[in-house]
Amino acid sequence: MGSIDQNLVFRQILSLLPATRLACPLMNYDEKKLPDSALVKAFILGILFQWGSHRDISENIRARKSIQRELGLASISHSQLSRRLFDLDTNLLVDLLGQLAQAFWILQRHAVGINSLVGILRIIDGTYVKLPDSASCWTAISKVSSGIKLHLRIVVASADSVFPEKMVASTGNVADSDAVNHLIDEDALYVMDRGYAHKTKMGGWLARNSQFLVRIRKTFRFETLRAYSPTHPAVCRNELVSIQTRPEILRYIEFKDEEGTTFRLLTNRLDLSEEDILETYKNRWYIELFFKWIKQHLKVDHIYSQSPKGIWNQMYLTLITFALIELMRLIHQPKKSAWDFLRQVRVYSFLPISRLLANCNRRLRKSKGRQKVPERIPIEIKYGEDVAIVDPIAKEHFLKKG
């Protein structure tokens, strides 16, 4: 029975957590009742299963023996969870995310990115997370809105695999450009939107030999050194330029999309063609999809804590939860989409992993293609006049009245 319990899906996911710091006795010296390892796992399960409050997490722990065995405790109060989330060292979570990123790269060691010529992409952007009015004493950005920002760097290893490598959280009034240098520290091509296009920042990237592709504003000033005739139909300008504060030569591409919007791009990757630059910038959309994914499927905007540190810890725990699911997917079902795999994990979490894999690998019946749609027969509506007062009226009645 013990071996079966060990193979439960949720325990297999939690087993991917690096144990080096979580299991360190010095990190848990004063917290014998709820050590860091149990606390982190409890909140990961809360985020994974969308348990909406500390009380929900507490009651689910109390209701399931398998969770109790994994956490090493029979029960824990919701107030203890709240206090410990605030006390938890955020640097521990930063280290955990970094170690999971290393595990990701072991699995993706042969990845070359979407385009092997362009290489691995690292995309930087920020997203706003609205907070309740109770946080307006420290996160207000207007009279009616309060919130924080997540400044994030994701890596695009392939067309169907992205991973959150690094995050910097801030209050909502912090500009994107103030966080960007905390996110650039790897050898890759960084893709960014125009909120990051500042000459001072750009000069620092050039001094560090960092590769970048950034959208610039219309007011951004540079000196044209040489102009080329565009070869791509969407490109209006293709030039070698200088930002004047640095000696390096940069490439300037100006193009219009299908809706006529003008995009102005600056990069120090002089080896890329116009088409490569356009396609690379369009891949910036991956981070927008990632933000939408974690907000929709992991409810990153559903806050457990009212304290700043507790909120920062929850943001990291959300990314760690995504990281664990992505690692699990790459190990067992790399052809499944992230959402499809998460959906099935939630169904099979308290069953042996063999059941999950059997369901993922089951043979689906082939579609017979689009069938001829038969004529629709009007469906008789039963109004239940014997239990309600009904005077039916359709929308068309008001449309005809104008």
Query: What pLDDT was estimated at residue 202?
Result: 93
Residue 377 clears pLDDT 50, i.e. is over it: yes
Query: What pLDDT was estimated at residue 1?
Result: 44
pLDDT digits (tens, 9 = 90+) for 150-175: 999 999 999 999 999 999 999 999 99
**Two structure tokens written together for 295:** 């907000």
**What integer best gives the mean pLDDT of the chain?**
90
Give the orientation angle of helix 36-48 with respect to helix 78-87, to 10 degrees: 110
Q: What is the enclosing helix (H) or strand (E) of 235?
A: strand 235-242
Query: What pLDDT was estimated at residue 27?
Result: 56
pLDDT digits (tens, 9 = 90+) for 242-268: 998 899 999 999 999 989 999 999 999
User: What is the layout of strands, in order, in the sheet containing 223-228?
Assistant: 161-171, 147-158, 121-130, 189-192, 211-215, 262-267, 250-256, 235-242, 223-228
Query: What pLDDT was estimated at residue 134?
Result: 81
% of the chain beyond a pLDDT of 70:
93
Average pLDDT over residues 359-376: 72
Range with the poorest average pLDDT among 76-85, 263-272, 386-395: 386-395
Residue 22 clears pLDDT 80, i.e. is over it: no
Which amino acid belongs to residue 50? Q
Query: What pLDDT was estimated at residue 386?
Result: 84
Average pLDDT over residues 350-377: 79
Q: Is 208 exposed, middle or buried (0-12, 13-18, 19+ CB in 10 A)?
A: exposed
Residue 28 clears pLDDT 60, i.e. is over it: no
**Cα–Cα distance for residue pair 123/162, rounded to 1 Å:** 10
Nearest to 84 by CA among 145, 33, 47: 33
pLDDT digits (tens, 9 = 90+) for 38-72: 999 999 999 999 999 999 999 999 999 999 999 99
pLDDT digits (tens, 9 = 90+) for 99-148: 999 999 999 999 988 998 899 999 999 999 999 888 888 989 888 889 99
pLDDT digits (tens, 9 = 90+) for 205-230: 999 999 999 999 999 999 999 999 99
